[in-house]
Chain A
């Protein structure tokens, strides 16, 4: 890591007897959009609150620009937090809310006014300066919250589930805008979310947390395309899974066999990590990497399994098939509707599910 602006070093936090944050370490680069993603209770909010100073770590250290911020109270930390509820002061206008930080830092009134104007301009709220938060829509409140934090030009901006209060449409709109704002101001953003799609869309890099631990850190492509463990494969995006073991592994090209498939077929896989042969492992493959057809196309795909259409969901841009591969195995297959005349196989059709060896992964249980 070239120039980390924020470093977490082996951070530990216990809530009662529970280890909420378990030796979490990572660094965040200057100007990076970093997300911490995980299910609720993963400890991600605790990490954020420790950076902001509302909780203090039991062990470990937080460094901003190389200096430890241990013992520094929240109001003297060069970070700002955007709260999940926004926490806009209901008795202050938009302009007063935004001016709160600079005013508390003792900036001159004239400077504050011009800064407020600039930052409200950036979030497109110039005309709402004199409104109270209650008079704004959800999206506008979100913008005020962003402006109120950005005006302070913090070293790191923290966001706690920033878009969770918005409806689907607005959420996607704000995603694009949030990312654009971040690139424009060049401030490092650390965003906590349980919404994995949001994390993939927004982040330069992300950390996946589960039960207090960081499981994997990487770019969205790395996390989605090459998850380290089954949990990530399931949590970030969807995955189809088979339990079984590697029966052969020669230089990264292996054979996987599962008892859950009735005809005892083996599957060709690409083995990247150090997965031992003849030990229980899981095979995972993404629904959109699978190909459905009525005949086997050996030239294009190394693997094919026969199954029966159990369910078909039409989702507009794609069709989602549920395919019964054996008595105990059901897989999901996504087929993009590339043309308006996409063929839809009815329930009960027998088809071949096919994919390339490199699209499947073998992960430890």
Chain B
């Protein structure tokens, strides 16, 4: 009897977690299905097309070929890839340099002013990105706001050639993605215990050392999150380079769009898309693999 009831108890113990696990799976299903249907399937389609052949009038001929992947290494495409990587990296660095002091400043404000600043940072999202990019065209063009202002102030004597250059693209990208840097930085800085900063000061660290040896290492997750959130979308950006960079300053995003919609070469466009995806994944994976090893080495005395 005793044994029986004990085994019944243990059955009951097991029953509960199992049923709650089952519940968890049910709750996971919609999200997983959504991702599967709307992410993996289209991605598979793109993958398949990238190995097909372009038809004479733009269609896809289902004939296996590695031609597209060979074409990608053409010098023109490689240059666009290179320029995109440079622009995305610069965007990330500038956003970090601008975003860190901004986030650091916001965290030190009273909760009320923190809210005000965060809303100010997010307000641009309330308007369409296209409209905001047009606004930048108005600012950057030869007779635009910026040149008029600088000429009026006597800072420059001839108008700056900004619009339709890679500088304009960079400005546009930094403008567009700065909030994605500031918000994760704000989130980690906000959680940073002020006692760590004070402890470092108490242990003779000057402001720079406090920043470098305590604040940066302890907010690394936010820095990484911000950098990924800026780097990845700016690498694939096409609206900003299209409107602000003109025809001469293509990025990978424009190239893909061009292959799909203008050249009507879907297979090549698909191949470029996949290579872009692989670069991004490689960057992220490399980070996650390299980082723990490096930090372990740092720990050795």
**Residues of A that sit less than 8 Å from B by CB:** 52-54, 73-76, 79-81, 83, 85, 87-91, 93, 95-96, 100-101, 104-105, 129-130, 132, 148, 152
Contacts and interface: CB of A to CB of B under 8 A. Distances in A.
A91 B198 contact: no
Interface in B198-229: 198-206, 209, 213-214, 217-218
B13 interface: no
Contacts of A93: 299, 301
A95 B301 contact: yes
B295 to A, nearest CB: 8
Closest 5 CB pairs of A and B: A87-B199, A87-B195, A104-B204, A101-B203, A74-B201
B204 A152 contact: yes
Contacts of A85: 193, 195
A309 B300 CA distance: 65
A52 B202 contact: yes
A103 to B, nearest CB: 9
A53 B193 CA distance: 18
B204 A105 contact: yes
Contacts of B300: 130
A104 B295 CA distance: 21
B195 A83 contact: yes
B129 interface: no
Contacts of B214: 89
B196 interface: yes
Nearest to B217: A91
Nearest to A113: B301
A89 B199 contact: yes
B201 A75 contact: yes
Contacts of B301: 93, 95-96, 129-130
Contacts of A80: 202-203
B204 to A, nearest CB: 4
30 contacts: A52-B198, A53-B201, A75-B202, A75-B203, A75-B206, A79-B202, A80-B202, A80-B203, A81-B198, A81-B202, A83-B195, A83-B199, A85-B195, A87-B193, A87-B195, A87-B199, A89-B199, A95-B301, A96-B301, A100-B205, A100-B213, A104-B200, A104-B203, A104-B204, A104-B205, A104-B209, A105-B204, A130-B300, A130-B301, A152-B203
B263 to A, nearest CB: 50
Nearest to B220: A91
Interface of B: 193, 195-196, 198-206, 209, 213-214, 217-218, 295, 299-301
A75 B193 CA distance: 18
A227 B214 CA distance: 45
Of B193, B196, B198, B199, chain A has the most CB atoms within 10 Å of the CB of: B199
A76 B204 contact: yes
Contacts of A53: 201
Nearest to B295: A91
Contacts of B195: 83, 85, 87
A204 B240 CA distance: 71
Nearest to A104: B204
Contacts of A52: 198, 202
A48 to B, nearest CB: 11
B200 to A, nearest CB: 7
A39 B198 CA distance: 24
A85 B217 CA distance: 19
A91 B218 contact: yes
A101 B204 contact: yes
Contacts of A79: 202
A90 B198 contact: no
B110 to A, nearest CB: 13
Nearest to B216: A91
Nearest to A49: B198
Contact of A73 (B196, B201, B203): B201
B203 A100 contact: yes
A75 B218 CA distance: 20
Contacts of B196: 87, 89
Nearest to B299: A93
B205 A75 contact: yes
A43 B160 CA distance: 60
Contacts of A73: 201
Given A80-B203, A104-B204, 7 more contacts: A80-B202, A81-B202, A83-B199, A89-B196, A93-B301, A104-B206, A105-B204
Of B193, B195, B214, B295, chain A has the most CB atoms within 10 Å of the CB of: B195
Given A85-B193, A95-B301, A148 B203 contact: yes
B234 to A, nearest CB: 29
Given A100-B203, A101-B204, A74 B198 contact: yes
B195 to A, nearest CB: 4
Of A76, A87, A101, A130, chain B has the most CB atoms within 10 Å of the CB of: A87
Contacts of B209: 104
Contacts of A91: 217-218, 295
Contacts of A101: 203-204
A192 to B, nearest CB: 15
Given A129-B301, A132-B299, A100 B200 contact: yes
